[in-house]
Structure 1
Amino acid sequence: MAISSKRLYNWFISLVAASCMVLYGYDASVFNSIQGSKNWVEWFNNPNAATIGGINTAYTVGAIVGGFFFSGPIADYFGRKVGMATGCVLVIIATFMQTFAPYHGLACFMVGRVLIGLGQGIALTSGPIYIGELAPSEIRGQIMTFWQMFYSVGSFICFWIAYACTKHESTLGHWDWKMIIIFQLLVPVIILVLLPTIPGSPRWYIKRHNDIEKARAALRRVRDTEEEVEAEILQIREAIEYENEAISGTYSAIWKDKSIRKRMYLALVLNAGQQLTGQGSLNSYSTAIYKKIFEKASTIALINALNATFGIIFTLNAVWIVDRFGRKPLLILGGIGMGICMIISATVETQTPTLPNGAKSEPVGIAIVALLFIFILFYKPSWGATVWIWTSEVFSMNVRAQAVGMASQTQNVANTIFQQFFPIFLNNKGFYAFYFFAAINFVLAIFVFFLVPETKKVTLEEIDALFGGANHVIQGEGVLAHHKEVEAMQHQGSVSEKPGAVTVEDVEHKR
């Protein structure tokens, strides 16, 4: 069946928003890559393991502040597009600060890390919300898969640049690490250029300004028929009317509404769990991990680059399975698969002899790399892509921006706590640390099996019913009809301040 031009345009605008994830993927790989540069180590006065952990923490502190305190208000008051643009501008400023930090000027570099975290905390909230609010429910999972895939695209770009720089280290000098950082400008500049070409969120237009015409115009650009546009407009209005009247139009509903509170708890666990699967540590410290196996920096850089390349391919698996089989089976299978990979890789590394140079034999090294690649095969379409999909689609409009920002930044809360001591953990225990990750993965699979409901192909306005809440569309029908009736009576002069006039309560009583 032929795909309509509007459906293709829907994919285009979603991919523009998904490009915000390239920022995250690139940055997560930047610091990992430059740790392998002797020039970077010398430029910043040979930082120890605790300092390395502190530099990672600087980023996550910025991301947590951005995600918890700024992302929701910016996305809700100024719009999803403004949120993405704000994040991109901060990333650009921070890139220059890190690239041109003065000699031994670690403080400037760390401030840049904080600022880039702040920018990404804002952009990574607005991006998935925008995709979820514009994408049709039947393909929402497929489109959101590209959100996670673009993380791998960011890593892909960064690690291949890093690999090229390691091959020309003597020629580049200190630019062997500065070149890796400066290329971080590429994607935010592209996003800023493309943002004016995409529509705003129809749900934001109605929620923030009650501007039905702008919402209608935005939907007409991405829906095939006028009937689809009008049906969606009505659903949005009904849901928002109910949320404002029966629950709360403010962020307080996150804690007041039992159903939303339940979703928040689940989302916090899933997002924290995503980083404790072991993937967060592999992203940040794969160079340090592979140094325990391989001797050459160029070999490690090549493995990182290949890892990012296969990450793109593995994430694409979710495109055809996430809406077919659902979110829940993917999360369970992914958790079990990752746990098994961690057990086997830890056993292979710890139970084989180490060579006099501190590395492992070539067959052992290849086996461990293969196992960690298989780990990525399980991770990318499940706890990589699906956690983002689930988080972006389960919250109602009244709290969506703030809730997604808080839930997604729980990833960085978990990282802040764990990555601060992981370098020391790795130095002291080596690959025995991987048994810890295995246990967490099995626990997460059990958690999903018993507590997480399936959300595939459920419209955003009707998803509340899955969590024991009211169906906001059905409930909103009565509220919206009531408001229209009152407005009609006011227009006809039937409702006034005169004694004996028909009141809102009278209308409600008649209904």
Structure 2
Amino acid sequence: MARPTGKRVYNWYISLVAAMCMVLYGYDASVFNSVQASDNWLNWFDLNLDEDTYLIGMINTAYTIGAIVAGFFIGGPTADFLGRRWGMGIGCFITIVATFMQAFAPKHNLGVFMGGRVLVGVGQGIALTAGPVYIGEVAPAEIRGHIMTFWQMFYSVGSFLAYWINYACGFHREELGEWDWRMVVIFQIMVPGLIICLLPFQPESPRWYIQKSGNMEAAKAALRRIRDTEEEVEREALTINEAVEYEREAISHGYKALFKDPSIRKRLILAMCINTGQQLGGQGTLNSYSTSIYKKVWANQTGTINLINALNATFGIIFTLNAIWTADRFGRRWLLMVGAVGMAVSMLLASVVGLATPNTPDGGKTEPVGIAIVFLMFLFIFFYKPSWGATVWMWTAEVFSLNVRAQAVGMCSQTQNVANTILNQFFPTFLANEGLKCLFFFMAMNAVLAVFVYFFIPETKQVPLEEIDVLFGGTNHVQGGATIMHIGEKDDIEVQLNEGRRTSTHAA
């Protein structure tokens, strides 16, 4: 096995900086779940978990409203006009501002806290649009799947940080007072602050330079920082330029192109379906309300529930890494189908165990039953993380051509939040009325998702981004661009490669 070159290692580094944007998403999703366990937070905003189920749902969905608006209408244009790095940076900055709004919301003023959550959604909607687009555009095709695995893993890292901070604060609740929940919220500035510091020192996407202004020299300069040879630089720059030329002349850019090309419309529908399916499978809702679910099992044991949530996030990191060796070996379709079946079985068994066992006098379950249900929830995460966690983002980031990539990724990824908004709004009431029987809903949805993937989702592993249109009945943008530019693709590549070799020889 060849030793990785310095530039390949650097390619991993800049991609992982972009992937850290997903920490924002994982942290925020877990923050709301964490603070629900704090009586200080509930008292600060005059909330009761049993009586204010609708309002609790509203607080959670406030985030998704901001994320949906940003993902559909702001994230794509920002990443296209200012660049992928600026998109990530602006999203992180807005998240920092919103974090202070939440942490220092005045007592009894729930509106300021909810406003901060809306603004967090806006920031993350922008960052989570630019991040996967950047990774897809700088990562070589043969390792793109590996790197996108870390995109989902960083969601688990965000949860890991939030839940362990919450677990630590729970031990010192009396000494910390109101800071027991403020500490959990305020630490949300840590990762976006780090990203803002690192972004200026890494290259912009070479594809963005060519798409935005046709600046081939800037694109080649960026490629020289992440590709090993001048031959690779010249070949990739030419390929991108021909694809962009075809998209500019034969199709169009931006939102209009999403509905003009039948193959893009097809991809948009399929990507929206699997992103919606990611939430219908249950992970988003379980991550937001696992505290409430576990209270049906571990009644009056807040410390135990905090520990379970923290361990869940820890194992989530480990489980996501399974996608590294499976995504490019067995493919995206295999992972999605196996994951959906495993998730369905886990939800079925968790429901059956909960319903077939008696409750204790305090309304919970015995310890052996509780351990069994927690194990099945962890089994659900084992199947979810490498499949409907990592692979959905992977597939979404790689199936769209450059002319629509930022807009399409932003819109499709935010269908997760559309579905999440609906589920999270009614789930507290659903759980209060039905108890663990509500998990049968997620079992059924996962069974449907497995069938959907089998019939409708094509395989995309290791397909170059500029040639992926062919899988969906579209035109090869590289060949189309070469024709529009009135040159033979093969001859042109040879000319560019010879020029690259001469440049390398003179440099030597």
TM range (shorter): over 0.9
Find the counterpart in structure 2 of residue 256 from structure 1.
260
C-alpha separation between the residues in 2 aligned to 1:405 and 1:84? 12
Find the counterpart in structure 2 of residue 296 from structure 1.
301
Structure 2, gaps ≥5 residues long: 490-508
Find the counterpart in structure 2 of residue 10 from structure 1.
11
SS in 1 for 2:486: helix
Task: Tell me the CA shift for residue 481 of structure 1.
Answer: 2.9
SS in 2 for 1:114: helix
C-alpha separation between the residues in 2 aligned to 1:93 and 1:458? 39
Matched residue type, 2:58: G
Task: Tell me the CA shift for residue 244 of structure 1.
Answer: 1.1
The C-alpha deviation readout for 1:152-187, integer Å capped at 9, x for no partner, is 000000000000011111111111000000000100
**Does residue 349 of structure 1 match 2:387?**
no
Percent of matched pairs sharing the same residue: 64
The C-alpha deviation readout for 1:197-221, integer Å capped at 9, x for no partner, is 1100000000001100110010100
1:268 corresponds, among 243, 265, 272, to 272
Change in Cα spacing, 1:250 to 1:182, as seen in structure 2 (3 Å) is closer
Task: Tell me the CA shift for residue 483 of structure 1.
Answer: 11
**Does residue 458 of structure 1 match 2:459?**
no
**Does residue 382 of structure 1 match 2:387?**
yes
Find the counterpart in structure 2 of residue 488 from structure 1.
none
1:373 corresponds, among 374, 378, 388, to 378
SS in 1 for 2:475: coil
Counting only pairs closer than 5 Å after superposition, residues 48-447 of structure 1 correspond to structure 2 as 48-294=52-298, 295-447=300-452
Are the aligned partners of 2:254 and 2:407 in contact in 1 as well (CA < 8 Å)?
Answer: no
C-alpha separation between the residues in 2 aligned to 1:195 and 1:401? 18
Matched residue type, 2:332: R
Task: Tell me the CA shift for residue 57 of structure 1.
Answer: 1.2
C-alpha separation between the residues in 2 aligned to 1:166 and 1:81? 37
Are the aligned partners of 1:240 and 1:476 in contact in 2 as well (CA < 8 Å)?
Answer: yes
Are the aligned partners of 2:209 and 2:219 in contact in 1 as well (CA < 8 Å)?
Answer: yes
C-alpha separation between the residues in 2 aligned to 1:365 and 1:444? 28
C-alpha separation between the residues in 1 aligned to 2:312 and 2:265? 37
Matched residue type, 1:306: L
Are the aligned partners of 2:482 and 2:488 in contact in 1 as well (CA < 8 Å)?
Answer: no
Change in Cα spacing, 1:302 to 1:55, as seen in structure 2 (3 Å) is same
The C-alpha deviation readout for 1:281-337, integer Å capped at 9, x for no partner, is 111000000011113101000000000000000000101111111100000000000
SS in 1 for 2:360: coil
SS in 2 for 1:252: helix
Task: Tell me the CA shift for residue 249 of structure 1.
Answer: 2.7
C-alpha separation between the residues in 1 aligned to 2:47 and 2:4? 55
SS in 2 for 1:90: helix
Are the aligned partners of 1:237 and 1:480 in contact in 2 as well (CA < 8 Å)?
Answer: no
C-alpha separation between the residues in 2 aligned to 1:426 and 1:250? 41
Matched residue type, 1:480: M
Find the counterpart in structure 2 of residue 477 from structure 1.
482
The C-alpha deviation readout for 1:250-302, integer Å capped at 9, x for no partner, is 32111110000000000000000001101011110000000111131010000
RMSD: 1.0
Find the counterpart in structure 2 of residue 492 from structure 1.
none
Task: Flag the structure with larger Rg.
Answer: 1
Find the counterpart in structure 1 of residue 498 from structure 2.
none
C-alpha separation between the residues in 1 aligned to 2:95 and 2:275? 23
Matched residue type, 1:422: F
C-alpha separation between the residues in 1 aligned to 2:458 and 2:173? 51
The C-alpha deviation readout for 1:382-436, integer Å capped at 9, x for no partner, is 0000000000000000000000000000000001111100000000001111111
Matched residue type, 2:25: Y
Task: Tell me the CA shift for residue 127 of structure 1.
Answer: 0.2
C-alpha separation between the residues in 2 aligned to 1:168 and 1:75? 43
C-alpha separation between the residues in 1 aligned to 2:294 and 2:143? 38
Find the counterpart in structure 2 of residue 21 from structure 1.
22
Are the aligned partners of 1:49 and 1:424 in contact in 2 as well (CA < 8 Å)?
Answer: yes
Matched residue type, 1:127: G
Task: Tell me the CA shift for residue 247 of structure 1.
Answer: 1.3
SS in 2 for 1:355: coil
C-alpha separation between the residues in 1 aligned to 2:250 and 2:197? 41
Task: Tell me the CA shift for residue 450 of structure 1.
Answer: 0.4
SS in 1 for 2:373: helix
C-alpha separation between the residues in 1 aligned to 2:448 and 2:196? 41
C-alpha separation between the residues in 2 aligned to 1:251 and 1:164? 46
SS in 1 for 2:402: coil
Find the counterpart in structure 2 of residue 499 from structure 1.
none
Are the aligned partners of 1:88 and 1:188 in contact in 2 as well (CA < 8 Å)?
Answer: yes
Matched residue type, 1:328: R
Matched residue type, 1:347: V
C-alpha separation between the residues in 1 aligned to 2:402 and 2:47? 48
Task: Tell me the CA shift for residue 350 of structure 1.
Answer: 1.1
Are the aligned partners of 1:10 and 1:135 in contact in 2 as well (CA < 8 Å)?
Answer: yes
Task: Tell me the CA shift for residue 361 of structure 1.
Answer: 0.2
Matched residue type, 2:195: I
C-alpha separation between the residues in 2 aligned to 1:15 and 1:6? 14
SS in 2 for 1:388: helix
Matched residue type, 1:186: M
Task: Tell me the CA shift for residue 126 of structure 1.
Answer: 0.2
Structure 1, gaps ≥5 residues long: 485-511
Matched residue type, 2:217: E
Are the aligned partners of 1:240 and 1:397 in contact in 2 as well (CA < 8 Å)?
Answer: yes
The answer to which of 96-105 and 470-479 deviates more is 470-479
C-alpha separation between the residues in 2 aligned to 1:324 and 1:253? 33
Are the aligned partners of 1:133 and 1:203 in contact in 2 as well (CA < 8 Å)?
Answer: yes
Are the aligned partners of 1:251 and 1:398 in contact in 2 as well (CA < 8 Å)?
Answer: no
C-alpha separation between the residues in 2 aligned to 1:341 and 1:284? 18
Task: Tell me the CA shift for residue 480 of structure 1.
Answer: 2.0
